[in-house]
Amino acid sequence: QEVIALLKERQLEVEDCGCNGERADYPVIAKAVGTAVASHPGDMGILICGTGIGMSIAANKIRGIRASLCADAFSTKYTRLHNDANVMCMGARTLGSGLALELVEIFLDTPFEGGRHENRVNMITELEKEW
């Protein structure tokens, strides 16, 4: 809920695909967010589960998604700069809310650097097509 509040504070459109505190299977949530992001290039998604690992594995099965586990500022910055990640995954059991909110800000504010990294992102896209 704190992440949603931050996004709304930044006047961003929010589509909450979460479980509203109920038990849920993370692949179902990852699919909902991943398909929404993949069908709207330029959109971004945020997925949260216990560790963020399951969400990142599930979301990365969706063509067009580059989901990254974000647990520190450096990795969060560089997954945007170099990988053009469009979905960030975080662990509710591994991060405090202060750090999580800081990582969301970094993820949203860091642009894709392009250049030599664009070639690599294109290679990832080709892998999706091949497999």
Would you name the residues annotated as active-site residues? Answer: 49, 82
65, 85 Cβ separation under 8 angstroms: no
Tokens of 78: 């560089």
Calculate ∠ Cα 113-7-111, nearest 5°: 5
88, 68 Cβ separation under 8 angstroms: yes
Secondary structure tally for the chain: helices H, strands E: 6, 3
In 3D, which of 80, 73, 77, 65 has the Cα closest to residue 100?
Answer: 73
